[in-house]
């Protein structure tokens, strides 16, 4: 069974970070380490995270001296994890949490049983207008950038697959790491390299997607989300992975 490296990015989420960390500590699957990044925001997120992480040596907590936002925190968190090529990266935001104590067990079993390279889905929300439970991409899909976005949380992938994503594709047209829409920027290249036979959809809802957070990126940076989405979709797709190598088509 794989080693899981949990990368948790936190903006202002003082009301929710304890639930996030508690859901991680309650997991039945033991082979994980977590790397939590907190952007300095003037609230109590870091202090509450530190309290929630107390006496758990598998959690590494970092306070950023300035906001680095989602993508840079993801990149830095993966580097801090020192993940081996076959380790699995698992992404969770600090204002969300796992729905059951067996979420990581389900992820690990999917890798073991299917030989997949990445997984996506599924979640339920705490607001009625966003119920979640999105479907999988149709079998044989190749034009991921032209279709409805479905590669949603919980998002996971093998570290070696991540290493094949060009750092330039994690950045906007000003060469800065994307502050939002980092999910699309990371997942689309890996979906294109993996194809639907190596990218597995997990239909069981593993996560509570907290749409009640007023500081959520989709609320406060809505125009930036739309702009980034258009840019990411316009970029050339990656080639399907063959013989251990990937490239742009």
pLDDT of residue 242: 77
Query: pLDDT digit string (tens) for 188-241?
Result: 999 999 999 999 999 999 999 998 877 666 667 889 999 999 999 999 999 999
SS3 of 119, please?
Answer: strand
Does the pLDDT of residue 152 top 90, yes or no?
yes
Asked, for residue 248, whether it belongs to a domain, the answer is: no
**Do the domain assignments include residue 150?**
yes
**Per-residue pLDDT averaged across 107-115, rounded?**
98
DSSP 4-57: EEEEEEESS-TTTHHHHHHHHHT-S---EEEEEEEE--SSSHHHHHHHHHTT-T
Residue from 37, 53, 42, 36 nearest 14 by CA: 42
Percent of the chain with pLDDT strictly greater than 90: 89
Total number of domains in the chain = 1
Residue 246 has pLDDT above 70, yes or no: no
Answer whether residue 243 shows pLDDT above 60: no
Q: Which residue has the higher pLDDT, 47 or 129?
A: 47
Could you tell me the strand order of the sheet in which 97-98 lies?
Answer: 97-98, 207-209, 123-125
Question: How far apart are the two ends of the chain, measured CA to CA in Å?
Answer: 33
What is the share, in percent, of the chain residues with pLDDT greater than 70? 95
In a domain, 69, yes or no: yes
Q: What is the mean pLDDT of residues 3-25?
A: 97
- Residue pair 180/221 in contact (Cβ under 8 Å)? The answer is yes
CATH number at residue 83: 3.90.550.10
Residue 136 domain boundaries: 4-234
Secondary structure letter of residue 165 according to DSSP: S
Q: Please, which residues have CB within 8 angstroms of residue 146's CB and are 6 or more apart in sequence?
A: 233
Average pLDDT over residues 80-96: 98
In a domain, 47, yes or no: yes
Dihedral pair phi/psi, residue 144, rounded to 5°: -60, -35
**In sequence order, what are the beta bridge partners of 4?**
32, 88
Please check the confidence at residue 248 and state whether its pLDDT lies above 50: no
């Amino acid at each position: 069974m794989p080693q899981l490296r949990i990368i948790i990015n936190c903006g202002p989420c003082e009301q929710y970070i304890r639930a996030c960390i508690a859901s991680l500590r309650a997991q039945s699957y033991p082979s994980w380490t977590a790397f939590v990044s907190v952007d300095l925001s003037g609230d109590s997120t870091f202090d509450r995270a530190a309290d929630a992480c107390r006496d758990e040596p598998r959690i590494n907590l970092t306070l950023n001296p300035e906001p680095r936002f989602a993508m840079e925190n993801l990149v830095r968190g993966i580097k801090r994890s020192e993940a081996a090529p076959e380790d699995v990266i698992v992404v969770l935001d600090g204002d969300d949490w796992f729905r059951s104590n067996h979420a990581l067990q389900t992820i690990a079993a999917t890798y073991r049983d299917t030989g997949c390279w990445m997984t996506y889905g599924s979640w339920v929300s705490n607001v009625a207008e966003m119920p979640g439970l999105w479907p999988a991409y149709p079998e044989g899909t190749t034009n991921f950038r032209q279709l409805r976005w479905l590669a949603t949380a919980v998002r996971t992938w093998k570290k070696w697959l991540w290493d094949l994503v060009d750092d330039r594709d994690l950045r906007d047209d000003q060469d800065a790491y994307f502050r939002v829409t980092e999910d699309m920027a990371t997942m689309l290249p890996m979906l294109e390299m993996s194809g639907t036979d190596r990218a597995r959809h997990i239909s069981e809802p593993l996560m509570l997607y907290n749409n009640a957070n007023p500081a959520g990126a989709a609320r406060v940076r809505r125009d930036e989300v739309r702009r980034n989405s258009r840019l990411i979709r316009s970029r050339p797709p990656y080639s399907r992975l063959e013989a251990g190598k990937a490239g742009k088509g």
